Every structure is written in C-alpha cells, then in structure tokens.
Amino acid sequence: MSSMSWSRVAVAAAATVALVLAVPLGASAHVRVTPRQAVAGADDTLLTFSVPTESGAASTTRVVIELPTSTPFGDVSYQPVPGWTARVVDGRLPKPAKVDATTITEAPLRIEWTADPGTKLVSGQFQDFVLSVGPMPRTGRIAFPTTQTYSDGTVVRWSQATPATGQEPDHPAPVLYVEDAPPGTERLTSDAVGLSAEAPATSSDLMLVAVLAAAALVLAVLAGGLGVLAVVGARRSRRP
C-alpha cells in the first residue's frame, strides 16, 4: 500500500473516532447548572448556567432563567456577560409560613439576558451565565425553568421535570439538588465538605471521562501504527 493510501486510512480512522466521540456529547447538549449540588443554609452559592445553541439556522438572542418562588432566594446577583444585557425582575412574594405569613419581601423572580446587536451565539457554541444566590433554602431540589429564544423567533422552554430515575426528557429544566441527592450520588453536607464545596463528580461524569480517555489512547496508538507503516511503505517504494 502506498504512503498516500496509508495517509488516507489514518485520516478516515481519525474521523471515525471523532464521530463516535461526538455522539454522546451532542446528545447531552441541554441547558445545565453547575454545581449539581448545594449545601442548605449556604449564604453565597455560585451557579453557572451553560446555554448551548442547538439550532443550525439561527442564533440565541435571549435567555430567561426562572428563580424559585416557593422558597425564594433573599439575595441574587449576576456576573456581567460581554455582549449581553441583563435585567433582574423582582416581585412581591410572601415569605414562607414558618417565618411570618404576614410579612412581604421583595424577591427576584427571574433573570433575563438579551444579546446586544452584533452578538451571535451560533450552532456549536454555548454561553455561561453566572449567578450568586443565597441563602440556600432547606429544600429537596430547585428547578430553574429556562426559556431560550432564537433569532428566527423559535422559543425553546427547558422546563420538563426529570424523574427520579435520572432519564432526562427532551427539554429538562436545570435542577440544583440541595437536601436531595442527584441520581447516582450522595447528598452533600456541610460537615463533610464545607459550605463552599463543589459537587463531586457523578458516575456518569466519570464514565464519560473514562470513555474519552480510552478513545484518545486508541486513536493515539492507531495513528502511531499507521504512521510507522506509512514510513515503511514509502521507503519500500523508493527502493530500485
């Protein structure tokens, strides 16, 4: 086989491995919140919402993240994002009955981000939106229904509940687990990790890392072997 043929085989093999690796990554392109777990009572928790553009014909122009109303945060602030304008929408909500049912407090209802003119978040790209919230309510879990609007007018609502099995629907709402534990993990406690600890890697995260590492090793070995064969073939073709 000529050196040109070996080169083509190497390129084809690399493309095949890349395609295999892209399948699980593309399938998980949902709006996510990290960390997945938080500690009840924490005064200041950073939450990062990663929003991908899945449309191949339009860009993301607006993102709205709904905040909890039954157990509202007393304090919410956001990190500025270049190219995006943010707005905090407040509402008059009663405090939980265990505090004082007659007391009224101003509580943030949602955060709205709108892309500035000229800002484009296109297919294959994502943007992180960071919030600082607290104190963390003592509740099982908190869902953050998120609405994503595209430049062609399409609206995607990430608001579907994820069952206890962990099998996600088509458009799951980002979920932060507080006193409940995400599927396949243990609940965080302040005694074990401290109030500012990040969530531990889940079994699915570890599995993905292992798969990627194994695939990378296979690709490296394959590329090295094909390279050696290409050199040997080239030398043989030059012999009289």
Check which CATH number belongs to the domain holding 182 and give it.
2.60.40.2230
Predicted confidence (pLDDT) per residue in 144-155, tens digit:
999 999 999 999
| pLDDT tens-place string over residues 207-224 | 555 656 666 666 666 666
Tell whether 2 is covered by a domain. Answer: no
Residue 53, in any domain of the structure? yes
Structure tokens at 226: 């094909």
Whether residue 158 lies inside any domain: the answer is: yes
Distance CA 8, CA 14 (A): 10
| Number of domains into which the chain is organized | 1
Higher pLDDT, 146 or 91: 146
3-state secondary structure of 32: strand
Distance (Å, whole) CA 42 – CA 134: 7
Q: Determine the average pLDDT of the residues in 220-239.
A: 59
**149 in Cβ contact with 60 (< 8 Å):** yes
Residue 164 has pLDDT above 70, yes or no: yes
* Structural domain contains residue 215: no
Using an 8 Å Cβ cutoff, are 134 and 40 in contact?
Answer: no
pLDDT tens for residues 177-211? 999 988 866 665 555 444 434 444 444 445 555 65
Domain boundaries, position 92: 30-193
**What pLDDT does residue 90 have?**
83
Residue 184 lies in a domain: yes
- Indicate whether 85 belongs to any domain: yes
What stretch of H or E contains 190? helix 190-193
Of the given ranges (9-13, 116-120, 152-156), which has the lowest mean pLDDT?
Answer: 9-13
The pLDDT value given to residue 118: 95
